[in-house]
Amino acid sequence: MIFTATSDGYLDIDGRRVRCALGRSGVRPAADKREGDGASPLGVWPIRRVLYRPDREPAPETGLPVAPLAPEDGWCDAPGDPAYNRPVRLPYPASAEQLWRQDRVYDLIVILGHNDDPPVSPMGSAIFLHLIQPDGSPTAGCVAIHRQDMLDLLGRARPGDALAILPAEPL
C-alpha cells in the first residue's frame, strides 16, 4: 500500500483523507532537497520501521518492524559525517537530532527511506512521519499527522508499504 501526502496538507489512509503538516518551506523535488532547507521531499519513500517512546506509548499494533526509543537515541544530520542520515547514540561528536523529545511529536516515529541507500550528503536527513504539533504547525521537512490517524495508518501498514509525498497540483 502507498499512503499519499499532498502539498495541500492532506494524507490518504486507505481512502480516508486526514490533515497533515509538511515542511515549513513546502515540498521540493528530492533532487533539489538540501539539509536544513525545511522542505518535504517529493517522491515515494519506503516505510522502514517504527520507533516509539515506551514511557508514553505502548508498542503500536502494526505489521512493521517496531523498536522502543531510549533517551540517548539521535539521528545524525551533519553533512559530511560518516553517520549522516543514520541513527546514532547521544552525545554524538557531530550534529544530531535528539529523538527523545519533551514535546510529543516523536512519541511515534515512522522512519522513511529517503536518502538512505546510501545516504548522499547534503540531500536531507531525518525525514520521518511523526505526530503533529497541537497547533498543526509545519515540520522541518517531515510529514506529521494526529495520533489517532497514525495508529490507524500503522494498523494497516505492512512491510513493503511506502509514503508518497506529492504536489496537490502537477508542478
Instruction: Write out 51-108 in H/E/C secondary structure.
Output: EECCCCCCCCCCCCCEEECCCCEEEECCCCCCCCCCEEECCCCCCEEECCCCCCCCCE
Please state which of the four CATH numbers 2.40.440.10, 2.40.50.140, 2.60.40.10, 1.10.150.240 is assigned to the domain occupying 2-166.
2.40.440.10
pLDDT of residue 171: 52
How would DSSP label each residue in 32-58? Answer: G--TTS-PEEEEEEEEEEEEE-TTT-P
Query: Up-side HSE of residue 87: CA atoms within 13 Å toward CB?
Result: 17
Q: Count Cβ atoms below 10 Å from residue 92 Cβ, excluding itself.
A: 17
- The amino acid occupying position 89 is R
Percent of the chain with pLDDT over 70: 99
How do residues 45-90 score in pLDDT, each as one tens digit?
Answer: 999 999 999 999 999 999 999 999 999 999 999 999 999 999 999 9
How do residues 81-120 score in pLDDT, each as one tens digit?
Answer: 999 999 999 999 999 999 999 999 999 999 999 999 999 9
Closest CA to 141 of 155, 159, 156, 128: 128
How do residues 126-161 score in pLDDT, each as one tens digit?
Answer: 999 999 999 999 999 999 999 999 999 999 999 999
pLDDT grade for 169, boundaries at 50, 70 and 90 = confident
